[in-house]
Structure 1
């Protein structure tokens, strides 16, 4: 039992080291904004996805060392809310508007909700709904702006510049 506990602590320290490294790289990517869709798709998005996943696993594992906190509903609700608040901050209040992190977190919490019951299940689903709402509030204005730029030329032709009388 004691030997297993030491291995668990050793693995947890490795997980903390991995999280620290990923968070460092994630924050350094802020200095190098994506130049196009390729940078976003193959550089920023994978780091957001993997850092979100490792953050979830690390926070979840903090409470797995004790049998009293392993399955306690209050602890699980706390972990879900903490993970949700970090994702909500990154998509809504941060300058990054990292919707990939928020969608990854929502996907993880949706998967976790399948195995939970009572209050943690409900809280997990509510956090997923809030994150999807935040992602929609972030992405929809950008999509509308792109549509307006693309099809705005068509509507400009029908605007006030159209002559009232023909040249016949």
Structure 2
């Protein structure tokens, strides 16, 4: 995508397109905007806004991706990072690597995130087991696991809201 195609509009949150854009350009712009909303120092306002950004970032993959949204002690974003990529129905997630990345970023808290390429964001038993395993590992180094969000084209499910954390 050429950045010169998109210009900020007069009203906050509006943009002007200077030349014709393709569907691929629009999807790329949406991905870039979602990434900007999860950049370093940004405060997380509402779960629904975060879900929208996560769905834009992970909702169109044809394979499973596991990512971390790392936060400081005031729950401001430190970094959003995709860590593991899998297949159509799973991704291998290694707790040692999750802990390592969290320590490298000096995270005080984390939101675990992964997508379901099927579109159905309903957490599986394997998702619940992984969440407990990662939460236990992160608790040992005083990093709070705030949530595990499962992203699908049909929406997002918060495992914290479901009582799995």
Question: TM-score surpassing 0.5?
Answer: no
- Structure of greater Rg: 1
* Structure with a larger share of its residues in helix: 1
* Structure with a larger share of its residues in strand: 2
